[in-house]
């Protein structure tokens, strides 16, 4: 606070004190003013009550035919937690099966109905649809998992990789997805020692083959970069990748 403001404050307070003194000394004026002040306070409280009740009636929190004596105990459609009746809130219709349900359960129902929630949440119909979609794609790629399956089984794929790396053996797990066309594959030095990590590497190659046939070489370079990253991650765990990664790059470029 600056020094200039202090005398101004003093003058202001002086004038206010004079005003109050004049008001208090005049009894009639004092009564009138106090009465008006009290009436304004009463009006404020009345407005608060009106707004509150009007909102409650508008939002159907109260049943209109309830007696006033019963308000403390119960009021029509309100349950113990003073929430409106849930049966009235069934506004959602599932686009898949057409059922009507509450909004609270709509998201979980969609997960099961459309098969988007994960492993355990798939219903029979959803799994059939997913299988039919995957079959259509498998026929074109001859056993390579599609993007949708990758997305759906992302966690499961990571677990498989971890299990394979733990095992580290020559186990070919009998998947029919090993089929690839040797004519299209350029010579690549791959250690044929039967590591299951090779499968994923081959899949990547085949993906690249299909993409390179249809797309520009820049896409293959970017995808080869992705392969580099994957190979680097695996090289930390097994030192056999170093041989393969440079040859892959050379052949594809």
The binding site for another protein (CB under 8 A) comprises: 9, 13, 16-17, 19-21, 23-24, 29-43, 45-47, 49-51, 53-54, 57-58, 64-65, 68
Which DSSP letter does residue 145 get?
A: P
Residues forming beta bridges with residue 101, ordered by sequence position: 92
Taking the complex as a whole, how short is the minimal distance between the CB of residue 103 and another protein, in angstroms?
25
Q: Of the two residues 69 and 214, which places its CB atom closer to another protein in the complex? A: 69
Tokens representing residue 212 in the block: 């390179």
Q: Of the two residues 63 and 138, which places its CB atom closer to another protein in the complex? A: 63
Taking the complex as a whole, how short is the minimal distance between the CB of residue 83 and another protein, in angstroms?
20
Token match 């097994």: residue? Answer: 238
Taking the complex as a whole, how short is the minimal distance between the CB of residue 67 and another protein, in angstroms?
10
Taking the complex as a whole, how short is the minimal distance between the CB of residue 86 and another protein, in angstroms?
23
Q: Of the two residues 53 and 250, which places its CB atom closer to another protein in the complex? A: 53
CB 142 within 8 A of CB 179: yes
What is the rounded CA–CA span in Å between residue 229 and residue 212? Answer: 19
Q: Of the two residues 47 and 179, which places its CB atom closer to another protein in the complex? A: 47
Taking the complex as a whole, how short is the minimal distance between the CB of residue 80 and another protein, in angstroms?
22
Maximum Cα–Cα distance for the chain, whole Å? 112
Q: Which of 203, 196, 185, 219 is nearest to 146 (CA)?
A: 203
What is the rounded CA–CA span in Å between residue 145 and residue 207? Answer: 10
Q: Of the two residues 30 and 184, which places its CB atom closer to another protein in the complex? A: 30
């Amino acid at each position: 606070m600056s020094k200039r403001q202090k005398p101004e404050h003093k003058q202001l307070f002086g004038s206010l004190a004079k005003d109050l003194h004049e008001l208090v000394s005049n009894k009639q004026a004092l009564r009138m003013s106090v009465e008006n002040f009290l009436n304004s306070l009463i009006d404020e409280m009345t407005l608060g009550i009106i707004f509150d009740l009007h909102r409650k009636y508008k939002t159907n929190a109260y049943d209109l035919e309830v007696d006033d004596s019963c308000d403390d105990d119960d009021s029509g459609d309100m349950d113990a937690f003073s929430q409106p009746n849930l049966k009235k809130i069934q506004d959602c219709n599932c686009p898949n099966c057409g059922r009507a349900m509450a909004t609270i359960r709509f998201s979980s129902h969609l997960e099961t109905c459309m098969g988007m929630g994960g492993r355990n949440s798939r219903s029979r119909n959803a799994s059939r649809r997913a299988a039919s979609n995957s079959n259509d794609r498998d026929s074109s790629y001859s056993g390579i998992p599609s993007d949708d399956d990758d997305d759906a089984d992302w966690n499961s794929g990571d677990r498989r990789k971890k299990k394979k790396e733990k095992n580290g053996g020559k186990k070919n797990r009998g998947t029919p997805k090993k089929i690839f066309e040797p004519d299209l594959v350029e010579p690549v030095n791959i250690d044929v020692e039967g590591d299951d990590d090779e499968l994923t590497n081959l899949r990547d190659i085949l993906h690249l083959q299909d993409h390179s046939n249809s797309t520009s070489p820049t896409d293959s370079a970017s995808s080869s970069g992705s392969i580099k990253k994957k190979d680097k991650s695996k090289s930390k765990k097994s030192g056999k990748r170093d041989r393969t990664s440079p040859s892959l790059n050379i052949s594809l470029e």
